[in-house]
Structure 1
Amino acid sequence: MDNKNFNRPESFKNKKQKRYNKNKKYHNGKKRTGTKLKAGSDKKLREVFNRIGIPENNNFKADDFQQEAIDLVPHKDCIVTAPTGAGKTWIAEVAMEKIFKAGGKSWYASPLKALTNTLFTIFANKFGAENVGILTGDRKELPDAPIVIGTTEILRNHLYDAMHEGKDIDTDYVIMDEAHYLGDEDRGVVWEEVLIYLPPRIPVLLLSATIENASEISGWMESIRKKKCSIIKAEKRPVDLYPLFLHPSGTIFPFFEPLNDKNKTPSKKLYKKVQKFISNNKKHSLSRPGGLPPMGHIIKIMEKYKLLPGIFFLKSRADCDFAVELCEKNGLRINEKKRRQIILKLEELQEKHPHIKNHPQIKFVISSGVAAHHSGHLPPWKEAVEELMTHGLLNAVFATTTVAAGVNFPARTVVLSNSDKFNGVEFLPLTPTELHQMTGRAGRRGMDKIGFALILPGKFMKVRQLAKIFAKTADPVTSKIKIDFSMVLNLLLSHTPRQIETLIEKSLASYQIHESGELKKDFRRKLSFLSHCGYIDEKDSLTFDGTWASRLRIDYPLVVAEGFRTEIFPDSPVLLAAIISCFVTDREYKDELLSHRSIPKNLKKEYIKIKKNLGPFFELLKSNKFDAPVLYLTPAVLTYHWAMGVPWEKVADLTEIAEGDMVRLFLRTADNLRHIRNLTEVFPEESSAASEAIDLILREPVITN
């Protein structure tokens, strides 16, 4: 097999390319590719670069913080904060092994499905596949196994069920990975709920690289769980990090003043030549206005000084995709030996994931040894890139900052091109936590003696600002708890309103600001609305409708519940899936771009009926200052055609949205359908249709086998 076997016909490739690259100016042939750089390095780096290499002794020996932790786990509550790659997961493995040998059960909660799948494979190899289960929205395998790994939301749902049934949750130990998610704007509430509801008899281990206020979190946990919570903190990275600066001439400088030989501590002062460069009003840039730096030339410089492999963190998906093409335009080529290795690996991966054969970046992977990895790509492609990088077959991966959390990419160097990050609404300066997560990917334990962060000057790189962020520790975790209708309905299954207010008083928010009045006020507002809509009675207990509606643990449970109460949902699996997809969107769609020929008449009829019948309830929500979804037609059209069995490429060509976004739409739709499937006793026909619809949606490449 060679390059051409992976390339799709040109007439089709152009259609496919648009789904990855939305910035058309990068692809009109007029975009300049930058000037060639002359490789050079500052003499102060000679000693640093001499340290590059593979450690001689790869035999594992527990660090002091690891030994301290395993003396406590799994019998005590514990927070472990240590840099990325320091070996926090090993502590969890030791704890689970102790529980396993004693005949107990462990629950490992992870925020990311990709991380969950990776850890599932690791734990299955260690403890035996028959002893490890996995629970995510997409996978449910061996849920009663002695070791279960799953998403934090599912653990929270198990706690809801246990409280409702008056039972104790069936586990003896809980590990919460990436515990800084406790402060996440959207999902932090779930972490907080788990720690509030988890019975004190069950010890909990929190793992994170970035919790600055661990003592405050520990104090909160001790206040609600009435038992000691130990803190184990390691600050030293397993592999030293050395920040570098690439001058537009092609010369690499130290970013900070070189290390002091006496105490070996990094200086927090910018290197004099970097300072001189940024103080020069006529300073040159690595790229022309509106363009990217000459990535291929930069990689060649990195190769000369043995700084590869690298992860380039760029501002946008379009930048990542164009950077891949730019490498080839800059003349970056890999040797024949590596080229053959990549082709063989791709052939192997193609057997598992046929969709990657036609990926538009295949030819660049084979010719230049580079790839893009971001949320706009299909899961099979991202898995392929991860495999290639893990096996040392790629020079570089161009990624958005989402890769920094959870994916174990091996790299010697991370390359930073901007000092800010897009949060979905606007660009904000990188936080210390985000920077630590990104630089945590530099330097591979057991593979590198030293790791690097290479800073690229440019329009979006504020060098002094980045230097200040480097000098800071992680951000403090602050509560992001919020009261939603699903939480209220589920707590009312097992608690009175007064008892729920007591739970609210246990929140991290109440501990941090010593006041829970606003949360209680919001709870009472939602309680009053539920009463007005007939979901709770005059005694503040759930009505029949309130009880089954509590099973809808989704973004808009009341909206979907109203659809059932007014009997407007279709019982056709395809139509039900399409309509439900309207309620899961987290983005805007341009329905006017849909071709009229792509909109089935039966779907349009159902869509109009749904909007008309739910309109009054939407107005009721808004008049009470509650959110109501915007019902777009585009997701319904895409879901309809996919559920009807239309080939992936044809469905993707109906829209301008990226394939990765389309996958997330279908996955979230399937997750909503699972909750509808749980309503068997109340709505048997719709439940059956939802079950069938899930099977229609969850097939390659939405899920990978």
Structure 2
Amino acid sequence: MSTADDQELSPSERYADYRSGRQHPVLRAFTGLYDFPLDGFQVEACREIEEGRGVLVAAPTGSGKTIVGEFAVHLALETGRKCFYTTPIKALSNQKYNDLVARYGPDQVGLLTGDNVVNGEAPIVVMTTEVLRNMLYAGSRTLLGLGFVVMDEVHYLADRARGAVWEEVIIHLPESVALVSLSATVSNAEEFGEWLATVRGDTTTIVEEKRPVPLYQHVMVGKRLLDLFASSDIDAAAGFVKEGAPVNDELVKIARDDWASSRITDRRSPKGRSKPGQRGGGPRQVGNGRRVWIPSRADVIDRLDREGLLPAIVFIFSRVGCDAAVTQCLSAGIRLTKPEERDAIYEYVEEACRHLPEDDRHALGYHDFLDGLTRGIAAHHAGMLPAFKQCVEELYIRGLCKVVFATETLALGINMPARTVVIEKLSKWNGETHADITPGEYTQLTGRAGRRGLDVEGHGVVLWQPGMNPREVAGLASTRTYPLRSSFRPSYNMAVNLVHQFGRDTSRQLLEQSFAQFQADKAVVGLARQLRKSEEALAGYREAATCHLGDFMEYADLRRQIKEVEKGATRAKRTDRREEALASLRELKPGDVIQVPTGKFAGYAVVVDPGWSPEGPRPYVVTADRQARRLAMIDFPTPVSAVTRLKIPKNFNGRNPQMRRDLASALRSRTHDLAPPPPGREAARRSADPAQTHADAEITRLRAALKAHPCHDCPDREDHARWAERYFKLDRDAQTLKRRVEQRTNTVARQFDRVCEVLTALDYLDGDTVTERGRHLMRLYSDMDLVAAESMRNGLWDDLSPSGLASALSVLVFEARRPDNASSPRLPGGGVREVVGEMVRLWGSLDVLEREHRLDFLRQPDLGFAWVAYRWAEGDDLDSVLEASDLAAGDFVRWMKQLIDLAGQVADAAGDSALRETARDTVRALRRGVVAYTALAD
């Protein structure tokens, strides 16, 4: 059996390899399907599978680990068993389905993605991981004869939103099924493999660090492409560069000169910002007179083209930035395709998009998209129509699209390797702030560079930015820190399904096998060791604090109690003030003029919207200096009250500068002659506060006991006290460690118990029995499963039309990328508004119940898609719906598909009720036009 390493084998090793071929006949036949020899790690993994063991293969992007999964498919067919090939996303499932159909024919291969059911009883079925999870819970007959499950991209297990599904599948698969897990290179692959062996039995972990194509790292400064590392003997074939590799001296000098130049510029120039949208192309004078250019996007592509470094993927951590990059390259006149390539691109896109309604093409930007593609340039991000993304992917794979400007989502999943990967900036928005990318993210992005069988070497390029430190860039490239961390937690749907199948005790034991618990238990060992050391040190501190006059620890405890009572009294005062402030905010009305006590917006302001919400009041105000802001409790450390009132214009819009100016002017006029608000009676009230009186009395009692203690007169009192303080501090730390040990022991099982307590309180569970209500919940797989089940239980949706139901369900699906606090979402009239209001109130009561049980699963419903869903279900055209929503086409389609999925679940859960037909009508109303067309492309 030949491998890529055959030329390095000795005669004895060649003989052993020959004998192995006789022992692994299926593998020997399988290798004949390829026109290249398999790598050593691929052969090793395939041998393990043929011998009946499970495998975990962790290898760099593009190394060919999917061949191991394809061998499991081949072995299943050869031995008359079934194989399920699971992927994390539908697009990957579609791609793998097409690959397997091309090899084995359509009769042998099926596809199950939720949207599509193609030959579902075939011996080989490609599916998303969620589909397999649902089949396991339902006890589907399709599982009969299953011999192998391939879990591609198994490192998705760390995904916060969906990772639990991977663990559910791994834990619940029948023991007779061999599991083939394929993962990106992670730094704790051995730990993950150890867990797989624990829950699945005999499993071999195979880690391949070596890249199939060497990767060279560069920094682009202006139009110059400089090596990141100085040494010519860097092992570019390794998965990462060894730490301490020397950095290119020229880059270090440029960085030093640039820093010096920026200090001079900062001293000479007025402070300010560059114009919005401006990026790249600007020079900076450095210390030696040279100028450093921040490379423009057009310069980058032009240089890569001239160096023969295309095709390239340029990662820009912004959808708007990706689209703008395409526009900038087209404006610069860049054309990367030949006439015959342009013809092929045009023909493919026209055919692929032929079902797109003509009226929708303008709204979707079809002609601009086609213009960019015919020049060999395209964007790729989640805001694009799935059909457009599919065109980009296919044309890129065919070598017709030369440059793709993409967000980091492209680094996960789709097989689109490049000769060169460019990273525009080393920081990105993480949902809360701009943060530097991690070494793991850097490795994952640059890992796409270098196409096996096409490129001799791959290239990773970072674009120069002001203040860049080349040594920090080198640190990103020379660290393998991408640990796999479990995101598993039991959900309400999971709980009822498990209890239905196994009963509560067995379910609890199953969940204790999760990777989350496995990692927690390993951490407990280290914590317990720390706790033992702390307890030994405590004994030493107690001995050092010994006093000949009496029990000094008792004396020190009196001192500690005095300090605690004083702190508690101070905290109580703050809490009282906060409660009073909260009560005063709840009394505010639109038009009230208040004085904001502290903070950035201190001074007079007029209340436009009191901002009542379950989290507490967040008044939306306009200040005297024309600022329109939604304030929070932190802005009100003391109570406020209306000092006067103003009339708010009926159609006031805080985003309109003129309206803000007019209202601020009226506010200044009204408050010009106002005297400062009189001092409150807070001090007098606090002096009569019973809690404060009790605290004062307790402090007096403790101080008297302190003075009467025999150790009070010890000449070494303060020396003893220092040892006692160390004792108390370490004791606090030890108690914290003890709690952490207790919390990490059986954490998942205890969380499952709390979930079951909530379900029992709501009558979804009765001991080991799932009630009729619980059976409805078993079919609802949404993140908002319990809100959906309770809405059904209370009949909130019974009288809605299909479009009304679409609107109501959307609040359980949609999550805005960035919340808009300034405006209230538009809702349909009639019964829909009331139903949505009832759903929000229902969520509020469930949120209280969750908090009582120390759970936090259900997010607040988001009303931002309700109007859009209603209008689409009513038959509005795409152009008007997109215009009203401020959504990108791809986002619109994605949310619609998730909404259709939930409506289908509601239909399944509703039994024979009228709601079942309404939900089915909702699915039909939503699945039209561009939404229906993209069913295969998402």
Which bracket does the TM-score occupy, shorter chain normalised? 0.7 to 0.9
Who is 2:45 aligned against?
Answer: 69
Alignment partner for residue 392 of structure 2, among 385, 388, 393?
A: 385
Q: Which amino acid aligns with 2:405?
A: F
Q: Secondary structure at the match of 1:299?
A: helix
Query: Is the Cα contact below 8 Å between 1:599 and 1:637 reproduced in 2?
Result: yes
Cα distance in structure 2, aligned partners of 1:131 and 1:279: 62
Please state how far the C-alpha of 1:566 moved relative to its aligned partner: 1.1
Q: Which amino acid aligns with 2:354?
A: E
- When structure 1 is superposed on structure 2, of 457-466 and 65-74 the one drifting more is 457-466
Structure 2 matches for 1:564-643, cutoff 5 A? 564-569=792-797, 570-587=799-816, 590=820, 599-601=828-830, 603-611=832-840, 616-621=845-850, 624=853, 625-643=855-873
Who is 2:904 aligned against?
Answer: 674
Structure 2 matches for 1:145-294, cutoff 5 A? 145-162=122-139, 170-225=145-200, 227-248=201-222, 250-260=223-233, 268-280=245-257, 281-282=259-260, 291-293=278-280, 294=296
Aligned in 2, Cα 1:276/1:544: closer, same or farther, shift over 3 Å?
same
**CA distances 1:382-413 after superposition (whole Å, capped 9, x unpaired):** 11221222222223111100001111224211
**CA distances 1:261-316 after superposition (whole Å, capped 9, x unpaired):** 9999867221111122222214689x967632321121111111101111100121
Query: Is the Cα contact below 8 Å between 2:213 and 2:237 reproduced in 1?
Result: no
**CA distances 1:74-126 after superposition (whole Å, capped 9, x unpaired):** 52110111221111112211221111122210011111111111111111211
Who is 2:95 aligned against?
Answer: 118
Query: Is the Cα contact below 8 Å between 1:591 and 1:632 reproduced in 2?
Result: no
Cα distance in structure 2, aligned partners of 1:483 and 1:246: 47
Query: Is the Cα contact below 8 Å between 2:847 and 2:856 reproduced in 1?
Result: no
- When structure 1 is superposed on structure 2, of 384-393 and 79-88 the one drifting more is 384-393
Query: Is the Cα contact below 8 Å between 2:110 and 2:118 reproduced in 1?
Result: yes
Report which of the two structures shows the higher radius of gyration computed on alpha carbons.
Answer: 2
- Is residue 328 of structure 1 aligned with residue 330 of structure 2? yes
Who is 2:73 aligned against?
Answer: 96
Query: Is the Cα contact below 8 Å between 2:55 and 2:180 reproduced in 1?
Result: yes
Who is 1:665 aligned against?
Answer: 895
**CA distances 1:414-471 after superposition (whole Å, capped 9, x unpaired):** 1011223433333333233322221122111122111111110115965433321211
- Is residue 60 of structure 1 aligned with residue 58 of structure 2? no
- Is residue 306 of structure 1 aligned with residue 308 of structure 2? yes
Cα distance in structure 2, aligned partners of 1:580 and 1:195: 31
Please state how far the C-alpha of 1:199 moved relative to its aligned partner: 1.9
Query: Is the Cα contact below 8 Å between 1:78 and 1:230 reproduced in 2?
Result: yes
Q: Secondary structure at the match of 2:193?
A: helix
Aligned in 2, Cα 1:258/1:661: closer, same or farther, shift over 3 Å?
same
Query: Is the Cα contact below 8 Å between 2:216 and 2:236 reproduced in 1?
Result: no
- When structure 1 is superposed on structure 2, of 106-115 and 600-609 the one drifting more is 600-609
- When structure 1 is superposed on structure 2, of 569-578 and 651-660 the one drifting more is 569-578
Cα distance in structure 2, aligned partners of 1:263 and 1:667: 43
Higher relative contact order (CA closer than 8 Å, sequence separation 6+): 1
Who is 2:114 aligned against?
Answer: 137
Who is 1:26 aligned against?
Answer: none
- When structure 1 is superposed on structure 2, of 143-152 and 472-481 the one drifting more is 472-481
Query: Is the Cα contact below 8 Å between 2:439 and 2:476 reproduced in 1?
Result: yes
Query: Is the Cα contact below 8 Å between 2:496 and 2:774 reproduced in 1?
Result: yes
Who is 2:616 aligned against?
Answer: none
**CA distances 1:157-206 after superposition (whole Å, capped 9, x unpaired):** 222223xx899765111111111122222222211121111222111001
Q: Which amino acid aligns with 2:203?
A: C
Query: Is the Cα contact below 8 Å between 2:813 and 2:895 reproduced in 1?
Result: yes
Q: Secondary structure at the match of 2:197?
A: helix
Q: How many residues align?
A: 640
Please state how far the C-alpha of 1:348 moved relative to its aligned partner: 2.8
Alignment partner for residue 378 of structure 2, among 358, 371, 391?
A: 371
Query: Is the Cα contact below 8 Å between 2:408 and 2:445 reproduced in 1?
Result: yes
Structure 2 matches for 1:553-564, cutoff 5 A? 553-564=781-792
Cα distance in structure 1, aligned partners of 2:107 and 2:143: 24
Please state how far the C-alpha of 1:601 moved relative to its aligned partner: 4.0
Q: Secondary structure at the match of 2:150?
A: strand
Q: Which amino acid aligns with 2:279?
A: L
Cα distance in structure 1, aligned partners of 2:821 and 2:144: 45
Structure 2 matches for 1:398-477, cutoff 5 A? 398-459=405-466, 463-477=470-484
Q: Which amino acid aligns with 1:222?
A: A
Who is 2:348 aligned against?
Answer: 345
- Is residue 543 of structure 1 aligned with residue 530 of structure 2? no
Who is 2:697 aligned against?
Answer: none
Query: Is the Cα contact below 8 Å between 1:214 and 1:231 reproduced in 2?
Result: yes
Cα distance in structure 2, aligned partners of 1:167 and 1:150: 13
Q: Secondary structure at the match of 1:252?
A: strand
Who is 2:564 aligned against?
Answer: none
Q: Which amino acid aligns with 1:546?
A: G
**CA distances 1:548-598 after superposition (whole Å, capped 9, x unpaired):** 2222122122111111111110453222222111111222554976897x8
Structure 2 matches for 1:3-82, cutoff 5 A? 59-74=35-50, 75-82=52-59
In terms of fraction of residues, the more helix-rich structure is 2
Normalised to the residue count of structure 1, the TM-score between the two structures is: 0.84
Cα distance in structure 2, aligned partners of 1:594 and 1:652: 18
Q: Which amino acid aligns with 1:499?
A: T
Aligned in 2, Cα 1:491/1:255: closer, same or farther, shift over 3 Å?
same
Who is 2:62 aligned against?
Answer: 85
Please state how far the C-alpha of 1:215 moved relative to its aligned partner: 1.6
Aligned in 2, Cα 1:170/1:384: closer, same or farther, shift over 3 Å?
same
**Superposition RMSD in Å:** 2.9
Q: Secondary structure at the match of 2:219?
A: strand
Please state how far the C-alpha of 1:353 moved relative to its aligned partner: 4.2
Cα distance in structure 2, aligned partners of 1:330 and 1:284: 29
Aligned in 2, Cα 1:322/1:444: closer, same or farther, shift over 3 Å?
same
Query: Is the Cα contact below 8 Å between 1:531 and 1:540 reproduced in 2?
Result: no
Cα distance in structure 2, aligned partners of 1:329 and 1:211: 41
Please state how far the C-alpha of 1:517 moved relative to its aligned partner: 2.8
Gaps of 5+ in 1: 1-57
Q: Which amino acid aligns with 1:689?
A: T
Aligned in 2, Cα 1:283/1:202: closer, same or farther, shift over 3 Å?
farther
Please state how far the C-alpha of 1:375 moved relative to its aligned partner: 0.5
Cα distance in structure 2, aligned partners of 1:488 and 1:263: 48
Please state how far the C-alpha of 1:532 moved relative to its aligned partner: 1.2
Q: Which amino acid aligns with 2:870?
A: Y
- When structure 1 is superposed on structure 2, of 475-484 and 608-617 the one drifting more is 608-617
Cα distance in structure 1, aligned partners of 2:750 and 2:873: 43
Query: Is the Cα contact below 8 Å between 1:436 and 1:474 reproduced in 2?
Result: no
**CA distances 1:309-363 after superposition (whole Å, capped 9, x unpaired):** 1110012111111111111233323466144443333333332545567426336
Aligned in 2, Cα 1:336/1:144: closer, same or farther, shift over 3 Å?
closer
Please state how far the C-alpha of 1:368 moved relative to its aligned partner: 4.3
Gaps of 5+ in 2: 1-33, 264-272, 281-295, 522-743
Q: Secondary structure at the match of 1:690?
A: helix
Aligned in 2, Cα 1:297/1:166: closer, same or farther, shift over 3 Å?
closer
**CA distances 1:111-155 after superposition (whole Å, capped 9, x unpaired):** 111111111111121121122121223222222211111111221
Query: Is the Cα contact below 8 Å between 2:247 and 2:470 reproduced in 1?
Result: no
Please state how far the C-alpha of 1:474 moved relative to its aligned partner: 4.7
Aligned in 2, Cα 1:71/1:363: closer, same or farther, shift over 3 Å?
closer
Normalised to the residue count of structure 2, the TM-score between the two structures is: 0.64
Cα distance in structure 2, aligned partners of 1:557 and 1:517: 25
Query: Is the Cα contact below 8 Å between 1:324 and 1:361 reproduced in 2?
Result: no
Q: Which amino acid aligns with 1:467?
A: A
